[in-house]
C-alpha cells in the first residue's frame, strides 16, 4: 500500500499533550515553504502532482485502485477540525478517488473524537482507515501525558470504528512519564485484544518546546536509552507477530526538523531495523547456544530477511564473530520468510 501524507500540524487538537510538538518534529510534506496547516488548494495541487496519472496505470486497473493506496491526513485531530474544513479536505480527496488515482482516505485522530455520527460522516466522505492515538492503556500514564482521554475511550473508539467496517490502527507510545517496560507490554496486550488492523509504535522522545522537554530538563523525566527501547520494542514486535497483527511503523520517521529539535530519547532513523535485528539475534542465541558450535556450522534464512538478520551496519554480524565465530548465516531461497533453517529443521521466529 502507498500512503500520500498530508500533514496538518496540531489542527483540531483540543490539548497540547506533554510530548507533542508537530511543528518541530515533522517537515511539511506538501510544499516546503508551507509550515502551517495547508489550505485546500495547496493540498489539491500537491496531490495532483504526487498521485499516479491515469495514463500511467495498467488498463485492467479497477476503480478504486487495487493496491489500496490512501491519502492520509496526519499530525492533527482530523475529526475535531471545523466541519467545513473537514468537508473541503475530504471533497478534495474524493475527487482523486472518483478519478481512480487513489483508493481511499486515512485520518489520524483521538479516541474521544469518534462518536457514531462522526464515524458515519467520515465513511460517507470516503474515509477507509482511521488511526487512533491511544498512546497507552494505563489511565495514570494518559493523565501524566495530558492526553485528556481514558483507556475506556481507547477501547470504545476502536470497537465503534470496527463495527462500522473501517480499518483501524492503534498508535502506542511506550516510555511516557509513569510508563515502563511492563506498562508498554500491558498496553500492547490490551490493544491486541481489540484486534486492530495494525499497530504503530513510537517510543517517546523529548522534543524542544514541549512540556516533556521542561520536565526532562528539571530532572523529572528520564528518557529510555536506545538499547532499552529496542529491547522492549522487540518484545512488542514478537507479541504482534504471534497474533498476526502487523506493526506498520516502529519509531519516528527520519526527519531533519525532528533531528534539529531532538533533546533526548531513543530516536534512530533505522529504529525499525534495529528492533527486527534484535529479534533475530534472540532467535540465533536460542537456536545456536555456545555448546552447539561444533554441531551447527550455518543457519539458513530467506534472502529478504538476511539484512535484518545481519543487523543495521552489520551489528549482528559483529555479535556473531564475538560470540559464535564458527557460525555462518547464509541466504537460502528455500526458507520461508520469518524462519531459520538449523540442522535441516525450519524454526519460526515467532515460536522462539
| pLDDT tens, residue by residue, 45-102 | 999 999 988 655 554 444 444 468 999 999 899 999 999 999 999 999 999 999 999 9
For the chain, residues classed under CATH 3.20.20.70 are 3-269
Contact (Cβ atoms closer than 8 angstroms) between residue 199 and residue 188: yes
Contact (Cβ atoms closer than 8 angstroms) between residue 107 and residue 130: yes
Question: How are beta strands 262-264 and 104-109 bridged, if at all?
Answer: unpaired
Contact (Cβ atoms closer than 8 angstroms) between residue 109 and residue 8: no
- My answer on whether omega of the bond before 127 falls inside 30° of 0, hence cis, is no
> Which among 275, 288, 273 is positioned nearest to 352, based on CA atoms?
288
Cα–Cα distance, 265 to 215 (Å, whole number): 13
**CA torsion, ordered 171, 241, 309, 322, to nearest 10 deg:** 90
| pTM of the predicted model over 0.95 | no
Type and span of the H or E element at 191: helix 181-193
> Which among 289, 324, 335 is positioned nearest to 345, based on CA atoms?
335
pLDDT of residue 55: 55
Give the gyration radius of the chain's Cα atoms. 22
Cα–Cα distance, 58 to 309 (Å, whole number): 36
For the chain, residues classed under CATH 3.30.2320 are 279-351
- Residue 131's φ and ψ, nearest 5 degrees, are -100, 125
pLDDT of residue 324: 85
pLDDT in tens, the chain (352 residues): 899 999 998 898 887 899 987 655 555 555 444 457 899 999 999 999 999 886 555 544 444 444 689 999 998 999 999 999 999 999 999 999 999 999 999 999 999 999 999 999 999 999 999 999 999 999 999 999 999 999 999 999 999 999 999 999 999 999 999 999 999 999 999 999 999 999 999 999 999 999 999 999 999 999 999 999 999 999 999 999 999 999 999 999 888 888 999 999 999 999 999 999 999 999 998 887 765 554 677 899 999 999 999 999 999 999 999 888 888 899 999 999 999 998 888 999 998 8
Topology classification of domain 279-351: hypothetical protein PF0899 fold (3.30.2320)
> Which among 216, 213, 233 is positioned nearest to 277, based on CA atoms?
233
Q: Which CATH class is domain 3-269?
A: alpha beta
User: What is the crossing angle of helices 40-50 and 83-98, to 10°?
Assistant: 20
Q: How many CB atoms lie within 10 A of CB 68?
A: 15
Report how far apart, in Å, the C-alpha atoms of 145 and of each of 15, 68, 139, 178, 192 are: 10, 34, 10, 9, 22
Amino acid at each position: 500500500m502507498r500512503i500520500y501524507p498530508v500533514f496538518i500540524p496540531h489542527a483540531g487538537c483540543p490539548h497540547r499533550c506533554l510530548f507533542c510538538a508537530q511543528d518541530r518534529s515533522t517537515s511539511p510534506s506538501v510544499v516546503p515553504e508551507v509550515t502551517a496547516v495547508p489550505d485546500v488548494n495547496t493540498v489539491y495541487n500537491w496531490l495532483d502532482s504526487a498521485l499516479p496519472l491515469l495514463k500511467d496505470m495498467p488498463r485492467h486497473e479497477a476503480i478504486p485502485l487495487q493496491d489500496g493506496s490512501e491519502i492520509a491526513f496526519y499530525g492533527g485531530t482530523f475529526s475535531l477540525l471545523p466541519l467545513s474544513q473537514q468537508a473541503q479536505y475530504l471533497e478534495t480527496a474524493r475527487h482523486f478517488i472518483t478519478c481512480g488515482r487513489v483508493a481511499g482516505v486515512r485520518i489520524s485522530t483521538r479516541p474521544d473524537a469518534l462518536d457514531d455520527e462522526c464515524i458515519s460522516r467520515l465513511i460517507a466522505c470516503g474515509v477507509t482507515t482511521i488511526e487512533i492515538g491511544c498512546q497507552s492503556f494505563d489511565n495514570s500514564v494518559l493523565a501524566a501525558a495530558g492526553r485528556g482521554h481514558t483507556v475506556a475511550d481507547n477501547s470504545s473508539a476502536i470497537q465503534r470504528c470496527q463495527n462500522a467496517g473501517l480499518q483501524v490502527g492503534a498508535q502506542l507510545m511506550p516510555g511516557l512519564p509513569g510508563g515502563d517496560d511492563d506498562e508498554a507490554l500491558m498496553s500492547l496486550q490490551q490493544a491486541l485484544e481489540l484486534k486492530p488492523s495494525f499497530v504503530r509504535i513510537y517510543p517517546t522522545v523529548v522534543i524542544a518546546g514541549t512540556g516533556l522537554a521542561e520536565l526532562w530538563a528539571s530532572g523529572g523525566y528520564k528518557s529510555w536509552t536506545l538499547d532499552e527501547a529496542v529491547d522492549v520494542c522487540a518484545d512488542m514486535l514478537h507479541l504482534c507477530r504471534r497474533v498476526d497483527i502487523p506493526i506498520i511503523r516502529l519509531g519516528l520517521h527520519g526527519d531533519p526538523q525532528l533531528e534539529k529539535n531532538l533533546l533526548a530519547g531513543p530516536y534512530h532513523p533505522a529504529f525499525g531495523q534495529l528492533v527486527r535485528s534484535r529479534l533475530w539475534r534472540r532467535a540465533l542465541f536460542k537456536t545456536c547456544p555456545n555448546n552447539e558450535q561444533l554441531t551447527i556450522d550455518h543457519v539458513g534464512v530467506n534472502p529478504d530477511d538476511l539484512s535484518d538478520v545481519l543487523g543495521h551496519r552489520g551489528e549482528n554480524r559483529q555479535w556473531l564473530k564475538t560470540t559464535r565465530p564458527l557460525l555462518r548465516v547464509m541466504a537460502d531461497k528455500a526458507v520461508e520468510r520469518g524462519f531459520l533453517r538449523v540442522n535441516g529443521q525450519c524454526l519460526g521466529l515467532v515460536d522462539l
